[in-house]
Amino acid sequence: MTVKQKALLQTAGILAIIVGGSLGINLILQNLTAEQITNGFAILSIALLIYSMYGVVLSRLEYEETLNKLVDKK
């Protein structure tokens, strides 16, 4: 498979995800109340904050491990 064919397939996949996601969101929003949407947004916000905190902690630990390896080489 050529690079152009791979790019075409990946582009088609991305467009399919965008269309499917927008249709799915539209269906979900039509069937939810304002309170449910607000609660969902709050839960997603908290989940994003937790994931961000995990990323920061993971980066710090990886940096510390790399630093320790460099110090041990001396």
All structural domains of the chain with their residue ranges:
1-31, 33-74
Give phi and psi for 24, each to the nearest 5.
-65, -45
**Can you tell me the distance from the alpha carbon of 1 to that of 36, in angstroms, rounded to the nearest whole number?**
46
pLDDT digits (tens, 9 = 90+) for 46-72: 999 999 999 999 999 999 999 999 998
Give tens-digit pLDDT for 4-45: 999 999 999 999 999 999 999 999 889 989 899 899 999 999
- Identity of the amino acid at 16: A
pTM of this structure? 0.59
